[in-house]
Structure formats: structure tokens, C-alpha cells
Amino acid sequence: EPEVTQTPSHQVTQMGQEVILRCVPISNHLYFYWYRQILGQKVEFLVSFYNNEISEKSEIFDDQFSVERPDGSNFTLKIRSTKLEDSAMYFCASRPRTGSRDQPQHFGDGTRLSIL
């Protein structure tokens, strides 16, 4: 069964550095998402992406964050200048666009980001 893949599985970065998290969504999916989960807390929505542009974003997704789909397969999340509070598990998800409006999102295994 097709999967969403994320790399790296664990990223350790110094505070203030830029980090890029990578995702390969399922190939025929058209909606892409990033979520994060701070240790012990809820999974929180960050941003959704469709038709090569952001469709919705949460208040967490400030100017330090950006997303890009540089080619036909990758979907990246960039944090420009990381802060300690960015330490979390980051999940990528994708969803097909079909006739039904009710399709589940498929999640990757996540990237654990640790900011030192």
C-alpha cells in the first residue's frame, strides 16, 4: 500500500539555524498537510497546500515557516530560524481529491525535530 514518507526521522539543530523537513506524499494525492505534535500534547494543524499554494494555515504557521513543492514528488517544510519551542514531531499528510468529500488523510511516520 502506498505510504507517505518523511525524512529525516530525527533532526537535531542548533537554535537559530534553518531546517528543512522533507516529505514524499502518496503519488496521486493532491492535498498536502503539515502537522506538529509537541511531546505529550495534541497534534496541531500547521498548513495545508493545494494546487501549488497554501490553502489554509494556522496561527502557529508564522513568517518563520514556509512550504514548498519543488518538484512533482517532494513537499517540504522550512523553518527559517528555529527556536527551542519548535522542538516537536512534525507530521506530513496527504489526501486524494476524489468525488467523495470524505477521504482520510494519510500520515507519514514523522520527523522528530530537536532544537538545542
Partner 1 sequence: SQQGEEDPQALSIQEGENATMNCSYKTSINNLQWYRQNSGRGLVHLILIRSNEREKHSGRLRVTLDTSKKSSSLLITASRAADTASYFCATDGASGSARQLTFGSGTQLTVLP
Least CB distance to partner 1 at residue 35 (A): 8
Q: Where on the chain is the footprint of partner 1 (CB under 8 A)?
A: 4, 6, 31, 33, 35, 41-45, 48, 50, 55-56, 91, 93, 95, 101-102, 104-110, 112
Q: Return the DSSP state at 74.
A: -
Least CB distance to partner 1 at residue 108 (A): 5
Q: Which is nearer to partner 1, 2 or 16 (CB)?
A: 2
Contact status, residue 63 vs residue 57, Cβ threshold 8 Å: no
Contact status, residue 106 vs residue 6, Cβ threshold 8 Å: no
Contacts of residue 59, Cβ cutoff 8 Å, sequence gap at least 6: none
Least CB distance to partner 1 at residue 66 (A): 17
